[in-house]
Amino acid sequence: MSVQTWTYLLVGITFAIYIGIAIWSRAGSTKEFYVAGGGVSPLANGMATAADWMSAASFISMAGIISFAGYDGSVYLMGWTGGYVLLALLLAPYLRKFGKFTVPDFIGDRYYSKTARIVAVICALIVSFTYVAGQMRGVGVVFSRFLEVDINTGVIIGMIIVLFYAVLGGMKGITYTQVAQYCVLIFAFMVPAIFISIQMTGNPVPQLGMGATVNDGSGMFLLDKLDGLSTELGFAEYTSGSKSVIDVFAITFALMVGTAGLPHVIVRFFTVKRVKDARKSAGIALLLIAILYTTAPAVSVFAKTNLINTVSDKAYDSMPIWFKNWETTGLLAFDDKNNDGKIQYVADKEANELTIDNDIMVLANPEIADLPAWVIALVAAGGLAAALSTAAGLLLVISSSISHDLIKKVFKPNISDKGELWAARIAATVAVVIAGYFGINPPGFVAAVVALAFGLAAASFFPAIVLGIFYKKMNKEGAIAGMIVGIVSMLVYMMKFKFDMFGGGTAEDWWMGISPEGFGTVAMLLNFIVAVIVMQFTPEPPEDVQEIVEDIRIPSGAGEATGH
């Protein structure tokens, strides 16, 4: 069968499974819609958290970034993995013990203020819409290549699928769908990696194959070979870095603390029965995430080596079918500047004739390596599973922020359970449409957009959550001021240097040499500083609030959580 037939078959089967699960597990109450009824097992929640966490950025884009950035791309590995550890150990158990549905719910109650809740809702919406833009673009990229529709049509198809199971099932439907999506995405990521590792090095373990010798009889290590290929074309050595130390630190730290402030990941810890289960599911998720994250560097090395060997200084007319297929998507382009019919893929921008979108590397990798059609189609199904699982989690955050935190808690406290459920579904529908618009008009490649979402989460939520848990004297005035200063400073910096607004700016103008992806660290520090200063000149929190803070920090709270 052809790649397209296999793709229709595998994508069709996986979509049928997702929709079937959504129908089976549809939500009948607001508690099921928001937190899956609070009774998910640690294993299921760990798998769902891993799928929620490993978005299109992890599956499609991360290895692509590392392929082109080399050593510099490792900041994404360190930041995202370290961030999950930080979240699991530092925040998740305490938030679960507090027993609220959402992050704005925690902030609204902890800081005894409707204003704090509204600011938190606005921050959650900004973070979630920025993040979901990357997921919808990932969906569009997969559909455009493998189902041979344009990216816009692909985004719309993805919107319809997500809308169905997110609106019908809520968190209950999303949780069990994400369990299936984890199985699909990890199988789809590992199978081609193992195939190519055996093909290139004879070692079936990709993590070891990356550091093994190439099985071409030369006795050369694969990384040494890639370093040599890169320098021949004028690029820096693959294993050397060019980013400044401060920028590497800033990006890594922003991704770490951004992870710990991501509302769609935090809400996963509210779906289990006990605080003890939150800790268990966090550990399970970390192990499941590590499978992909330790494989991604190997995939990037295999992909870049195969790409250079396939295209560099080769005749355009002799290019394999995968090259022409990706050209039609617009994500790969050849411009024969010297009219010699050969592809000049070099570091010199004036002479370079090949433009490659980072996001195609993982998806094109099996095709470049000439793997069987079913493996190529499997990767497409995995990419869709990764993008759709995270998109669904984000859409739930958006809908619950509006229906629960704004309508129920601020504007219409007497709304019925059924009315709130309808409000949540309508909000999710509107959110899908907006997310689709961002997917059709994305602000960058998938991982870059997602990295900015992490910066926004670091700048807004992380200080408010940490101070809310560990500093009982932090008051509402300090938290509100900190969140506003943090997110506004991140937005201004991001818009100026990423989107050329406010007069634009170049890398030479970056503050202390810190990129927009790393500025979340600076904005987070500003948030902390402003919050603590404002707190000094405003009244202490009420005694009952300080007692709640004391209570959630007691380690013995491994039994049933209080609250909803």
- DSSP result, 211-241: TSB-TTTT--BHHHHHHHHHHHTTPPPTTS-
Chain-centre distance of CA 126, in angstroms?
Answer: 15
pLDDT (mean) for 48-70: 80
Report, as an integer, the average pLDDT of 257-268. 76
Residue 323 pLDDT grade (very low, low, confident, very high; cuts 50, 70, 90): confident
Give domain status of residue 564, yes or no: no
Q: Is the pLDDT of residue 43 over 50?
A: yes
Better-predicted residue by pLDDT, 358 or 493: 493
Q: Is the dihedral of CA 139, 140, 141, 144 positive or negative?
A: positive
Cα 474–Cα 252–Cα 80 angle in degrees, nearest 5? 90
- Within-domain flag for 557: no
Is the confidence at residue 129, as pLDDT, over 60?
yes
Structure tokens at 166: 């997110």
Is residue 400 included in any domain, yes or no? yes
pLDDT tens across 331-389, in order? Answer: 788 888 888 888 888 888 888 888 887 778 888 888 888 888 888 888 888 887 877 77
Checking if the pLDDT of 33 tops 70, the result is no
Is 79 within the bounds of a domain? yes
Q: What is the mean pLDDT of residues 42-55?
A: 82
In a domain, 118, yes or no: yes
CATH (domain of 337): 1.20.1730.10
Is residue 554 pLDDT above 60, yes or no?
yes
The span from the CA of 184 to the CA of 178, in Å, is: 10
Q: Which residue has the higher pLDDT, 213 or 146?
A: 213
Contact 282, 46 (CB under 8 A): yes
Flag whether 560 is in a domain.
Answer: no
Q: Does residue 377 sit within a domain?
A: yes
Which pLDDT score, from 0 to 100, does residue 485 have? 94
Q: How would residue 479 be classed by pLDDT, with cut points 50, 70 and 90?
A: very high
Q: What is the pLDDT of residue 559?
A: 47
Reported pTM: 0.80
Per-residue pLDDT band at 524 (split at 50, 70, 90): very high
Q: What is the average pLDDT value for the chain, to the nearest integer?
A: 81
pLDDT of residue 530: 95
Q: Looking at residue 449, what is its pLDDT?
A: 67
Distance CA(461)–CA(127), nearest Å, equals 10
Count of domains forming the chain: 1
The CA radius of gyration of the chain, in Å to the nearest whole number, is 24
How confident is the model at residue 538, as a pLDDT?
Answer: 92
Tell me what the mean pLDDT of segment 200-229 comes to.
87
Contact 233, 312 (CB under 8 A): yes
Give residue-wise pLDDT tens across range 94-126.
777 777 667 788 888 889 888 888 888 888 888
Do 402 and 121 meet the contact criterion of CB atoms below 8 Å apart? Answer: yes
> Residue 152 is part of which domain span?
3-552
Kindly state whether residue 352 falls inside one of the protein's structural domains: yes
User: What would the mean pLDDT of 461-480 be, rounded to a whole number?
Assistant: 90
pLDDT of residue 523: 92
Predicted local distance difference test score (pLDDT) of residue 557: 43
Q: Please tell me the predicted confidence (pLDDT) of residue 560.
A: 46
- Which pLDDT belongs to residue 561? 46
